[in-house]
Amino acid sequence: MAVEFSQYLPFWNKLTDDQKQRIADVVEYRQVEKGTRIHDSSSECIGLIMVHSGQLRTYILSEDGREITISRLFEYDTSLLSASCVMPDMQFNIMIEAEKDSKFWSIPACLFKNLTEESLAVSQYSQSLISSNFSELMWLMEQIMWKSMDKRLAEFLLEESRLEGSAVLKITHEKIANHLGTAREVITRMLRYFQSEEMVKLTRGAIEISDEKKLIELLAS
């Protein structure tokens, strides 16, 4: 197992034997079912997450229960978002849940933090992860600020179809609303509009993309 997770860590070969051992001593391997909440605002920092298989979703939650997806993690992805305690000045709460049955490793936040203080390679790795989180967030904010909801929904449906390898998406309007940070009614209304334009077909519990090209055109318009 040690061999496997070390492949996720570009700084592995720059660690001392002692540092490698300290990681190996505490690294955790977990297997979770679809729907499991891996991390929430009440739980301890998990630390650095390395996804072995499956699909995780990171999101924020408002006081009145609205959600918005920040990022999705797939095989080979690593994330520090569950390690806000590693990052100085972090004062917000990120939730993480498994969107599919998933397996992942985690390195506890406190050890990871210590390593960033000992090793330039780890510190730089950490910096690059935080930067790319920042970039994602910036992208998301630009979407929310400047892009109309119809385009965001079209983009979400196309992305989801690509991820699932299917034109038939078994996802509720509620879930889509939670991804996009809006109300279920807004999504339902817009999906009905998409249906009237013959881009999708709505059936009980599923959305079928019936004209992918039209959705792509909407995106580009």
Residue 71 as a binder of a second copy (CB under 8 A): the answer is no
Interface residue with a second copy, options 26, 32, 87, 163 (CB under 8 A): 87
Please give the residues from 112 up to 131 whose contact with a second copy meets the rule CB under 8 A. Answer: 116-117, 119-120, 123-124, 126-128, 130-131
Q: How far is the CB of 192 from a second copy (least distance, A)?
A: 24
Residue 92 as a binder of a second copy (CB under 8 A): the answer is yes
CB-based burial, 29-64: b 16+ in 10 Å, e otherwise: eeebeeeeebbeeeeebbbbbbbbebbbbbbbeeee
Amino acid at 41: S
Residues 182, 76: Cα–Cα separation, whole Å: 30
Residues 170, 80: Cα–Cα separation, whole Å: 30
Residue 132 as a binder of a second copy (CB under 8 A): the answer is yes
| CA 132 distance to own-chain centroid | 13
Structure tokens at 35: 């729907």
Please give the residues from 133 up to 192 whose contact with a second copy meets the rule CB under 8 A. Answer: 133-135, 137-142, 144-146, 181
Residue 196 as a binder of a second copy (CB under 8 A): the answer is no
Interface residue with a second copy, options 17, 63, 162, 213 (CB under 8 A): 63
Count the site residues for a second copy by CB under 8 A.
37
What dihedral angle (degrees, nearest 10) is formed by the CA atoms of 157, 163, 169, 172?
Answer: -70
What's the number of CA atoms in the CB half-sphere (13 Å) around residue 91? 1
Strand partners, 43: none
Q: How far is the CB of 10 from a second copy (least distance, A)?
A: 12
> Considering beta carbons, is residue 133 or 161 the nearer one to a second copy?
133
Residue 221 as a binder of a second copy (CB under 8 A): the answer is no
Contact positions toward a second copy, by CB under 8 A? Answer: 60, 62-64, 66, 68, 87-92, 116-117, 119-120, 123-124, 126-128, 130-135, 137-142, 144-146, 181
